[in-house]
Structure 1
């Protein structure tokens, strides 16, 4: 098992092994598909990645209404990250795809097909099932398919023959790999090799995966240059500060211990802002990002109970909602009821008798990281007013 973007998944698995007969594989999958399509449960023999997709899609999807040519051109131009990678995809994949009787399909972060390259014979077949520029191929649109499954799994997948949700796609194999910006963890787009199921091969999955990783390395290198330029060009003050780009990636820091990225509020503006994991700052815009200065101005805290308890930090930049575990809610409720602070011994009452102090301190530390700057120790207390 592997862990990718916080989700546990089995290792990447091709639909067929080398040398396995595609026609025979189609026949064996057809029975499994019909069992599911008739409303029965998903058979155990269905590959886990396909079973998850069948479960998510739940139907054949809403259908396809392609964008017009103007909207396609606008999406191409506006996605600078993906646009800058198209040349790489063509260089690495198009020749091999063509030789294998496949086409190369490049879709954006929302599943819209923006570029289709490859043999005219394959393209004419794909036109017949709506696999064309401007069409959106999420699972919600057309059920289980390579693009949609790769987007949902955030991992490379190969969808073969009757593993597709729609029968008109059962003569296809689609090998898709998502490209994820390693600096923001955001989906940039998906690359897909698509053709007749008879062309299916595990090497296609390895190739698409390799090129997607190369694209992600290019994005990482471009981001590093961007951060270096920001650090060299921005005028930073003396004292404690953070220098971040517009997405919250940290270019430079002094007096702060943070990771490579902070979560900026959507309502980010110049002046007082409260940033999760950082605390209250005075934000000043600079070319390409923000300079964040530590400030002593007060924020206020609101505690919301319920099945999904939250802490809401109110600051001049607006309200920041922070989900809380049941234990973190209990700790905050106790601190709110004791403005002068509580000792570790008083917090022990929130845990079963005999719970080690190291366990209690670790949980409090995690909460303090969530509400950076709002809880101090010795004794533990809130340093902001709590709204009634």
Structure 2
């Protein structure tokens, strides 16, 4: 029998709609779970977000042992983002957790549970499945679950009953949303409401998702304040410059069309560096970030053959090494031979099989992401002198 699965918005992966009997739905899901765990093909009735998770983490997962109390305490102390967000998350979600007999679970960006709050009866039940502070709940640790799947998908998701990988979690529904720090683009946390599958409701997902977005907005607001402080604390020099914070977010610039955050091969260090989109720059540390100014030193691309080919970007005497795969190596060789440039059709000769221009452009795009502004487009060509090492 096909499970009743009312449609949900693509960005909100609710497990079932209002009015659907949770017990009946769980019974319909059990054969799908059993078929998967017995090694059969994942059935088409499985929700796509769950099917993807089952494919990523086949089997029922292992067991996540909690960290020692001292390591857990260190994680909590060192997590500046959650020290900022803890009160906001609790204010928004704990009242709902209590009313719905759910618990509020907050993890760090690695999936370690830092806090479990809510009704004591629910927390006692979760202790029995290892859903405790200090345990890590990625998909790789315990299979499909709300926390791990939200981390992997980077979207809010609700995992219901037998959609969980492990049978001891089949009595639960977990509604989770990732929190991404806009300052770094990295996963900062996940927030989850978890309880009996009988409490499942799509409104829970909407609430958790909205709270996660509010938390991201708060992180962005605080980051903007720090950029303002950086601008006010550092004297801005005459001429062209770019001022960035420690995560390379641009606080101020003159004479450059900058993205919100710089991409720097190998990271910044004092001295000459090559910055994607800016070219050769001299980096100097300032309190809270870096000051970048253009330099007149010549930039040279050195191509180094061998079993593990690589490119070396020289800015004066400073070098930045970039490993290359065989196709990227051949693309650079061809561009070095054709100083006038080449279009996507001209690069197709590097493929042994027929490929479309879209495939070629995608591969060159990946190479340009490695080398920054070394390769210009329309046509593709090298923007700096190139030499071949012995």
What TM-score, normalized by structure 2, do the two folds share? 0.85
3-state SS in 2 of match to 1:84:
helix
- 1:76 and 2:76 aligned: yes
Q: Distance in 2 between matches of 1:366 and 1:161?
A: 40
Residue aligned with 1:147, SS = helix
2:353 aligns with: none
> How many angstroms does 1:212 deviate by?
0.2
Q: CA deviation at 1:193?
A: 0.2
Instruction: Please name the residue that 1:187 is paired with.
Output: 187
The Cα of 1:314 is off from its aligned counterpart by 4.3
What pairs up with 1:74-153 in 2 under 5 angstroms? 74-153=74-153
The alpha-carbon distance between structure 1 residues 137 and 288, as it changes in their structure 2 partners (threshold 3 A), is same
Where in structure 2 are there 5+ consecutive unaligned residues? 1-8, 350-359
Shift of 1:377: 9.9
**CA displacement at 1:263 relative to structure 2:** 2.0
Change (3 A) 1:163 1:261: same
2:176 — aligned with what?
A: 176
Q: Say whether the 8 Å CA contact 1:277–1:370 is kept in structure 2.
A: no
Residue equivalent to 1:228: 228
Residue-by-residue CA offset, 1:27-77 (whole Å, 9 max, x unaligned): 000010001111111111000000011111112223211111111111111
CA RMSD of aligned residues (A): 3.2
The 1:292–1:250 alpha-carbon spacing in structure 2 relative to 1, beyond 3 Å, is same
TM-superposed CA distance for 1:218, in Å, is 0.6
SS at match of 1:74: helix
Partner of 1:387: 388
Aligned match of 1:342 in 332, 335, 340?
Answer: 340
Q: Can you give the 5+ residue segments of structure 1 that lack an aligned partner in the other structure?
A: 1-8, 353-359
Q: Is the 8 A contact 1:102 1:193 kept in 2?
A: yes
- Residue 239 in 1 paired to residue 242 in 2? no
User: Which residue does 2:322 correspond to in 1?
Assistant: 321
Matched residue SS, 2:386: coil
2-structure distance, mates of 1:186, 1:215: 14
Conserved 8 A contact 1:331-1:347? no
Q: 1:146 to 1:351 in 2, by over 3 A?
A: closer
For 1:357, the equivalent position in structure 2 comes to none
Residue-by-residue CA offset, 1:143-176 (whole Å, 9 max, x unaligned): 0000000000001010000000000000000000
**Paired residues of 1:146 and 1:157 also in contact (CA < 8 A):** yes
- Asked whether the 8 Å contact 1:342–1:381 carries over to 2, the reply is no
- Return 42-51 or 276-285, whichever deviates more: 276-285
Report how many residues are paired.
Answer: 369
Q: Is the 8 A contact 1:330 1:350 kept in 2?
A: no
How many angstroms does 1:384 deviate by?
3.0
What TM-score comes out, normalization by structure 1 length? Answer: 0.86
Q: Distance in 2 between matches of 1:18 and 1:66?
A: 35
Change (3 A) 1:313 1:36: same
Contact in 2 for aligned 1:376/1:383 (Cα 8 Å): no
- Deviation per CA, 1:300-358, whole angstroms, max 9, x where unpaired? 324467999864424555424276895x76663234235xx4267x9975469xxxxxx
Q: 1:305 to 1:95 in 2, by over 3 A?
A: farther
Distance 1:309 1:76 in 2: 43
Q: Secondary structure at the match of 1:125?
A: helix
- CA distance change for structure 1 residues 302 and 124 in 2, over 3 Å: closer, same or farther? same
CA distance in 1, matches of 2:245, 2:344: 39
